[in-house]
Amino acid sequence: MAVFDADKDISPGIVVSVPFFGGILALMMIGVLMKKVRASPRGEGPQLFIADQISEGAIAFLKTEYKYLVPFVVVCAAFIVGILEGQSGSPVDYSEKKGGWQTTVCFLSGVLVRVGRLDGHEDCDGN
């Protein structure tokens, strides 16, 4: 005996809304925490020198990392399109689309969100 009927109780809107609102909540928490980090004092004397050295090193690392990451992302995106679009039929019953380009756009948008913070200051301010 099931507690709920999956076909009637769980709609696509409910399934999509949970991660959507979770993402909105996470972005709000990022804003609160970044405001708190930026409002705190950076320190004084040698502590500032060390913090600047850490920040410079982290930024150099991120730039090098992304230089190697770009070809990897391009290969992964091509692989996603190739695998999904190369299928003989649609993976779902309710659509004729194979989903290769849609999945690749989602993948690349996630990459761009992360790479959009290439300056690295958000990653280094807490040090």
Same structural domain, 60 and 107:
yes
Same structural domain, 31 and 53:
no
Range of the domain at 29: 1-40
Could you tell me which of 101, 106, 126 has the C-alpha nearest to residue 34? Answer: 126
Same structural domain, 26 and 61:
no
Same structural domain, 101 and 71:
yes
On the question of pLDDT at 114 being above 80, the answer is no
On the question of pLDDT at 3 being above 70, the answer is no
Same structural domain, 10 and 29:
yes
Same structural domain, 27 and 55:
no
More confident residue, 125 or 44: 44
pLDDT tens, residue by residue, 82-98: 888 877 776 666 566 67
| 120: helix, strand or coil | coil
- pLDDT-derived band at 66 (thresholds 50, 70, 90) equals confident
| 0.85 exceeded by pTM | no
Q: How many domains does the chain have?
A: 2
Same structural domain, 57 and 108:
yes
**CA dihedral (9, 15, 20, 26) positive or negative:** positive
Same structural domain, 71 and 114:
yes
User: Could you please report the per-residue DSSP string of 93-118?
Assistant: TT-S---HHHHHHHHHHHHHHHHTTT
Same structural domain, 61 and 105:
yes
Same structural domain, 62 and 108:
yes
Same structural domain, 4 and 62:
no
Same structural domain, 35 and 70:
no
| Predicted local distance difference test score (pLDDT) of residue 121 | 57
